[in-house]
Homo-oligomer: A and B are copies of this chain.
Amino acid sequence: MSARVAPDQVCTVTCVGAGVIGGGWAAYFLAQGYRVRAWDPAPDAEAKLRHLIDAAWPALTELGLADGASRENLTVCATLAEAVDGTDFVQESAPEDLALKRKLLADIDAAAADHVVISSSTSGYPMTDMATASATPVRLVVGHPFNPPYLIPLVEVVGGELTDPEVVQWTADFFRAAGKSVIHMEREVPGFIANRLQEALWREALHMVEAGEATVEQIDLSITDGPGLRWPFQGPMLTFHLAGGQGGMAHMLDHFGPSLLSPWTRLEAPELTPELRDAVVAGTDDEAGERSVDDLVAERDRRVVELLRAKGRP
């Protein structure tokens, strides 16, 4: 077995699947200076992939290309075996179909050299469920990106029951070396973290459209001109920390806690036990760190003002 390359020494990566997500990964890796080998069995995959990379390139150029980054470093391969030849890392981004992913991950596992880590872009399947047909599940890991992977920094990294914890750590380190913002999850949860949150919002939105409570356009406007203006800078927890005024999250939970019983969404809330309240307050205090409520308000305001100005520009 050849030794695994250090996470920051990876030169060549393979993208299996070259649709919106796989193609977005390819664009990102190219901009970071990697050599990229791509494979997708669809007949028009190469044309779509090059279209996507060309569309992404101006944004990536604006953000700054790595030394040596070039679209010339893309090799579109005719077979999976060719695509994994000489690679250090595989990112699988096939359609979201469990049977298909099981089979494909097993094929990648059979084709790739022993030292290669194989990561899946799955939006929500636990690796424990996807790795069942693979001979070497220890090197299979989830690296879940967000669309477009060439711009959105977040990658959620989590292993399955049989994944070697060193592989999970290697993958987190590799994505960090590649410039990503990584959440290294300790346990498997269907949908991971961001998609669970996003999916709860999306399902409530679908219910509202179905019930005639809001139009598609009202739903989008309610986010883009409302809470969506805070979330790029302060997540839901820090947002509510500031909703509590100088009393912060503690005041917010004590004051608005009863509204968890209100029918404000179709999702029932957990009981706000003293333990849960204290856990949320302590976590928020940890996250706020040295920053007082006044500091956080000033920080938020500065960011939101920039954002409103950016929104106002054509």
Give A contacts to B, CB under 8 Å.
Answer: 19-20, 48, 55-56, 58-59, 62-63, 95-96, 123-124, 146-148, 151-154, 156, 181, 183, 185, 187, 189-210, 212-240, 242-246, 255-256, 258-260, 262-270, 272-273, 276, 279-280, 282-284, 286-287, 294, 297-298, 300-311
For this chain, the copies found in one complex come to 2
User: Which residues of the other chain, B, contact A205 by a CB distance below 8 angstroms?
Assistant: 197, 236-237
**A304–B150 Cα gap in the complex (Å)?**
11
Q: Are B276 and A63 in contact (CB under 8 A)?
A: no
A215 — which chain B residues lie within 8 A by C-beta?
283
Report yes or no: A201 in contact with B200, Cβ–Cβ below 8 A.
Answer: yes
8 Å CB contact of A310 from B197, B238, B307: B307
Known interface pairs A48-B245, A216-B286, A265-B267; 15 further A-B residue pairs with C-beta atoms within 8 A, sorted by A's residue number:
A55-B301, A56-B301, A59-B302, A153-B229, A181-B221, A190-B263, A191-B264, A194-B223, A196-B208, A197-B265, A200-B204, A203-B260, A203-B269, A207-B269, A231-B232
Q: Which residue from chain B places its CB closest to the CB of A251 in the assembled complex?
A: B20
Please give, as numbers and ranges, the residues of chain B lying within 8 Å of A305 by CB-CB distance.
Answer: 59, 62-63, 151
Would you list the 5 A-B pairs with minimal beta carbon distance, nearest first?
Answer: A216-B283, A220-B235, A191-B264, A228-B231, A154-B226
Task: Select which of B181, B201, B210, B307 is within 8 A of A201 by beta carbon.
Answer: B201
> B307 touching A307 by the CB < 8 A rule?
yes
Is A206 touching B311 in the complex (CB atoms < 8 A)?
no
Contact check: which of B197, B242, B300 meets A204 at CB < 8 Å? Answer: B197
CB A147 to nearest CB in B, in angstroms, measures 5
A58 / chain B contacts, CB cutoff of 8 Å: 301
8 A-B pairs whose Cβ atoms sit less than 8 Å apart in the complex: A152-B225, A181-B225, A191-B264, A197-B205, A202-B236, A215-B283, A219-B236, A224-B232
